[in-house]
Amino acid sequence: MSFKIREVYQDATILCIEKPAGTLSIPDRYDPTKKNLLHYLRNKYPGILPVHRLDRDTSGIMIWALSDTAHKHLSQQFETRTVKKKYLAIVEGSPNTDSGEINASIQYGSSGKGFVKAKGKESVTHWRLIERFNGFSLLEVVPMSGRTHQIRIHLQHIGLPLVVDSYYGNRSELYAYQVKPYKKFRFSKNAEERPLISRHPLHASEITILHPLTKKEVTFMAEPPKDFRALLNQIRKWRTLG
């Protein structure tokens, strides 16, 4: 088992890594034999413990505990919602304002898919527009609660789904012809067209915690991976306003 993982920071109590898209954070509940980061990291750090997770196709910064004491301290921070997390999201559509709050309770069905419902669990997400394009937008998203798929559900709820999201969006892949103007698009009949991206473009860019040992606030950041940057470059090239 091997993953391309960059260790951002490590000391006696915590490990901070950049999670690649397409990898499970922890064992799958239905098939625990699937490759996952917890099993991989335990080869190097036998006592490592997860304190949060990212969806399989979400890339970005993750914190792990290297001791029981650190795990307890960090878990409490997540439970009390004192951890500050920021994400980057490429969405379909354009918001009417430059920032906003989504306060919409979430409920989950038997399949695990979530949807907004008044009787669900209280969920709040803040968002800020970073770049506006023709038909697309780049947002900074800050979840104030930690519900499963919260960002994806909330963005869909306000009419700004991720440009690729087979669960909560409109497509499972995004191709060049869906970004480029028709007259600019050229495609060879003998060539196999490859998607620009085939996973949801959601990236955990920043996390701030209280260090378990020093009790001081520390922030860790991760730049978006290659596929996220490549998609954004294409949108900037062909969909810039004005």
What amino acid positions are annotated as catalytic residues? 55
- In the chain, DSSP finds a helix count (H) and a strand count (E) of 4, 12
Look at the block and give the residue holding tokens 């304190």: 51
Contacts of 97 (CB under 8 A, 6+ apart): 129
C-beta of residue 204 within 8 angstroms of C-beta of residue 140: no
Contacts of 98 (CB under 8 A, 6+ apart): 128, 129
- What gap in Å lies between CA 140 and CA 181, rounded to an integer? 26
Look at the block and give the residue holding tokens 């920043």: 206
Q: What is the CA radius of gyration of the chain?
A: 19
- What gap in Å lies between CA 42 and CA 52, rounded to an integer? 16
Length of the chain: 242
User: Where would I find the beta strands (DSSP E) of the chain?
Assistant: 6-10, 14-19, 49-50, 59-65, 84-92, 99-103, 106-108, 114-116, 124-132, 136-143, 202-210, 217-221
